[in-house]
Structure 1
Amino acid sequence: MAERALHQFTEGAYIGDAVSDQVFAIQRWLHDLGFASEVYAERIQPELTGRVRPARDYRPGPGESCLIHHHAVGSEIAERLMAIGLPQLLIYHNITPPEFFAFTDPILATHLHKGRRQLEAMRPNTLLALGDSGYNARELAALGYDKTGVLPIVLDESQFRAPLNETLAAECAAARPLVLFVGRFAPNKRQEDLLKLHHCLRRILPTARLALVGNTDFTDYVAWLRALAGDLGLGDDAVRITGHVSHRDMITYYRRADVYVSMSEHEGFGKPLIESMYCGLPVVAYASTAVPDTLGEAGILFHRKDFEGLAELIAALLADEPLRRRVIARQTGRVRAFLEPQVRRQWEAHLQSAGLLPGGAGQ
């Protein structure tokens, strides 16, 4: 009898990437359930060679009745899987609206348009479509997917047990408070609004610093942000643009910052939100797209970008220790929904509903 196989396909596999981390967690769960499960990708970070196989090498085997496809951008993977024709279990991580990049990165905008066209084209051959947030699941339903569900991004607690970078921790403590945002530098993340907010916050708290952590490959946008910071009078003592940092440094920022603030106008999930909550960092976030789904009743959501009013709110949160403790306590409760036991139970229930585990439809 052929071994049951359930392989995963993703456009790219990278260390520290939220989608890739989810792929590897699911692979481990599938192995525990007795499935053969390989990961295939078009683009593979060299350090993952051997752990992830090139998509071009895939050939359907006798034990396969379904494939798992992670979709977040226009890709050759989607075309390849549609040509193969096996039914798929789609995991949708959202596609940033191309409008954010129409003038700044038209090539990326083209790939995003392609991804949205592919999302519609894949619908007839999809057994079950899962969004990693309620926002994404609602988008799938609006596109006509009739069997949908939610599978949140899982938070791996073991990744947060690493020792801190004590040198960096001391730097973080040198001038307080420290405001943190984590995310690649891109127009939808609205780092420029964080700079404007920080300009207002420094009027109330002159020693406040802002750390912007994330990939800086979008060099034109980063250069514009640096110029804007200069125009706002925010020097190196006020704003740090770190670029990509090590995992140890990332944990250090989460553990040593005073507040996490997001001005992002498009999030498919927002993994830094749950990482901040897990690390006991109070979250203040613009209530856009998936952010309310991810935070639930936790954190502090705002619906209007009143920079001066928000600066006063953040200053009050930092000064009022009982309020800060209440916010953190509610966040600690919320983050349990993203820990492995809970998310794994949801995953196995979805496999059952798709008829891929005993007890599900068709079994």
Structure 2
Amino acid sequence: MPSVLLDMRPLQGPSAGRGIGTYALGLLQGLISQGFDSNLTLLLDADFPEPSLPAGGYKLAGSRRRYHGQLSAYEEAVALGSDLQRIRPDVYHAIDLRLAGRSPCPWVVTLHDLIPWALGGPRMRGERFRFWLGRRLLKRADAVLAVSEATARDAARHAGVDPKRTKVVYEAADPVFEPRSGAADRVRERRALEPGYLLFVGALDARKDPAGLLRAWAVAKEARPQLRLVIAGDPGAQAPRSMPGATTVGPVDKLELADLYSAAGCLVFPSRYEGFGLPCLEAMACGCPVAAYANSSLPEVVDGAGTLVPDGDAGALGRAAAALVADPEHARRAGLERAKLFTWSKAARQTIALYESLLR
């Protein structure tokens, strides 16, 4: 079995609480479940506290560097190449776009999205600048592990990656996301919320279309006037100053988020572009119906288990959400069955097969 250096440094920064952090821990737990942990070395930043990691037979390796300014991306790429020379794994696996300029071993990178280029626009200019070198180096990877078919297409279209070197391996929801007994009572007690509300989970940046979210809610209330909108998660730097009338609960832990999904009438997800769309999968795993726009990766994740409406049509989104709140049972059952197809054990097996293929 190959020795693999898995780069877990994203767990030591802002990405820890985002989709990349969820992916890192989920994949690690999946690899441990497959008995692959003794083949793993986890790369961590020695200047930051060690993150909370599941128990396993893996080793740890440290790196120390802090670069700032216009040349930081180049310096990071060179320093990471030196780390690989020192550690000498059979395979290196990057889980974000901080990539090595040169590698002495085959390397794979998990590509979560190329939204700054796929979606474009002036608000994405900073992200394009931040990740420009990673995008440029992406086509040098021996394999690109894309989290959806939509992301695989973006890799070819926006980064020039050969489709023959791309493999799609879907993410999964954390096992904590399941229908939670007593969720309605806990949500009433903690948040003074009656079950059956509309729920949005995630940052309220421009890509998530907060104006469209409010419009969808207003349309849904035409059919159900008492319907409340609950917003969970870190709103992010681009969030509007206020979301009039909505109940904002801010960041919550996984158990409370599972309760919020379980007690909701519908997840409303007006995102204009996703690399995967984890909130939709988490909601379905909890038995929460999903209404979303039909764009990017969302048809792959939802695939008939929820209601997808034309991209950008907030009115249709609101009508779909109201209909799901009124009659949720089919969507609940379909979502639960759909969510079972996505597991970290399955993702880990596919990832191990990819590692082995690089050494043949």
Q: TM-score range by the shorter chain?
A: 0.7 to 0.9
The 8 Å contact of residues 10 and 42 in structure 1, kept in 2 or not, is answered as no
Structure 1 pair 263–154 and aligned structure 2 pair: CA distance change class (3 A): same
CA contact (8 A) 2:199 2:267 kept: yes
Please point out which of 5, 8, 27 is paired with 1:7.
5
Task: For residue 11 of structure 1, report the CA deviation from its aligned partner.
Answer: 5.9
Q: Is the 8 A contact 1:273 1:295 kept in 2?
A: yes
Is 2:127 aligned against 1:111? yes
Write out per-residue CA displacement over residues 313-345 of structure 1, whole angstroms, 9 at most, x where no aligned residue.
Answer: 33233223xxx3222222222212212332233
- Residue 151 (structure 2) pairs with residue 129 (structure 1): no
Identical counterparts, % of pairs: 20
Any conservation in 2 of the 1:176–1:208 contact (CA below 8 Å)?
Answer: no
Give the 3-state SS of the residue equivalent to 1:248 in structure 2: helix
Q: Distance in 2 between matches of 1:135 and 1:41?
A: 32
1:340 to 341, 344, 354: 344
Which residue of structure 2 aligns with residue 253 of structure 1? Answer: 260
Cα distance change, pair 113–43 in 1 and its aligned pair in 2 (3 A): farther
What is the TM-score when the length of structure 2 is the normalising length?
0.79
Between the aligned partners of 1:196 and 1:25, the Cα distance in structure 2 is: 35
Residue 39 of structure 2: aligned partner: 35
SS of structure 2 residue aligned to 1:337 = coil
Identify which range, 146-155 or 19-28, moves more after superposition.
Answer: 19-28
Task: In structure 1, list runs of 5 or more residues that go unmatched.
Answer: 356-361
Aligned to 2:136: 120
Q: Note if contact 2:114-2:154 (Cα within 8 Å) is conserved in structure 1.
A: no
Deviations 1:152-202 (A, max 9, x none): 112231465888595434466754630011111211011221111112222
- What are the residue-to-residue correspondences of 1:79-90 with 2, within 5 Å? 81-90=100-109
How many residues align structurally? 328
1:81-109 CA-partner distances (Å, limit 9, x unpaired): 224554311110113226978655xxx73
Look up the SS of the partner of 1:273 in the other structure: helix
Partner of 1:144: 161
User: Any idea what SS the aligned residue of 2:144 has?
Assistant: strand
Counterpart in the other structure of 1:205? 224
Q: Over the residues paired in the alignment, what is the CA RMSD in angstroms?
A: 3.2
Report SS of the residue matched to 1:221: coil
Deviation at 1:54, TM superposition (A): 5.5
Residues 181-234 of structure 1: per-residue CA shift (max 9 Å, x gap):
11112110112211111122222211111011121231x5331xx1xx44xxxx
CA distance in 2, matches of 1:165, 1:310: 25
Describe the shift of the 1:213–1:111 C-alpha distance in structure 2 as closer, same or farther (beyond 3 A): same
Partner of 1:67 in structure 2?
92
Q: Are the structure 2 counterparts of residues 54 and 116 from structure 1 closer, same or farther at C-alpha, using a change threshold of 3 Å?
A: same
SS in 2 for 1:265: coil
TM-score (norm 1): 0.78
Bigger CA drift: 161-170 or 241-250?
161-170
Q: Whose RCO is larger (CA < 8 A, sep 6+)? A: 2
Alignment partner, residue 80 of structure 2: none
Q: Measured at CA, do residues 19 and 41 of structure 1 come closer, stay the same or move farther in structure 2, by a change above 3 Å?
A: farther
The corresponding residue for 1:17 is 18
Could you tell me how far 1:260 is from its partner in structure 2? 0.7
Bigger drift between 135-144 and 28-37 goes to 28-37
Unaligned residue ranges in structure 2 (runs of 5+): 55-59, 66-82
Identify which of 315, 321, 333 aligns with 1:314: 321
